[in-house]
Amino acid sequence: MTVLEQGITLDVFVTERAEDVDDLLGMYTNFLLEEFDRIGELAFGNAAAGYLLTSFIRCDDHNIGFFSLDPAGYSVELIYLKPEYRGRGIATLVLQHLKQHCPQQLALKTPLSPGGEALADKLELGRADNLPHEEATNEDVLQVIRAGIKATCKHGKSAGNPSKPCKRCYQKTLRRYAVEALNKVVTETRQVLALRAGTSSRR
């Protein structure tokens, strides 16, 4: 655990802790839904992955947010705070800490929200754009989501707007997407740990 100031700490996300998985899933789902309300589409960025270091932002021993850090790219993939904790300078405090301990210029992964752009400017952080293979993967995911909604949803058609995905079904799909994405990370991590344990026991 890392103490930033009185009451504000950082604690590593652990896949073996059920409460960690539940908390991260809840906040990641809320991030996706909030961004959908803002941009009308799936917002890219992983809460957890094999290439990321994910930590909770804690206030008085409660998880109030998280960030996922790509140490190889010196970039923050996502940073999220629950709405009731925004506007207190907590995200600034976290990013200042990461910047201070980053061996190169710390960057925020694009695209950024208006708040993210303001933080990047304020703290003089770089921007890390998606690589071509990431762009291609993102587009593939979007096409799968849109096709799935189009094939199963009748709300948009009944509302007389077949050209746009149904908001209700898109939100439902985002919730399912969050569960599947996080479960994949948890399963893969546990498989790696089990393999390591088996290898150690045979030595």
CA distance 102 to 59: 23
pTM for this predicted structure: 0.87
Write the CA distances from 164 to 88, 92, 144, integer angstroms.
37, 36, 15
Pick from 59, 79, 84: nearest CA to 69: 79
How would you write the pLDDT of the chain (203 residues) with one tens digit per residue? 899 988 899 999 999 899 999 999 999 999 999 999 998 888 888 999 989 999 999 999 899 999 999 999 899 999 999 999 999 999 999 999 999 999 899 999 998 989 899 999 999 999 998 888 888 888 888 888 888 888 888 775 544 455 667 888 888 889 999 999 899 998 888 777 667 666 655 55
CATH of 2-201, picked from 3.30.420.480, 3.30.70.120, 3.40.630.30, 3.40.50.460, is 3.40.630.30
DSSP per residue, 65-92:
EEEEEETTTTEEEEEEE-GGGTTSSHHH
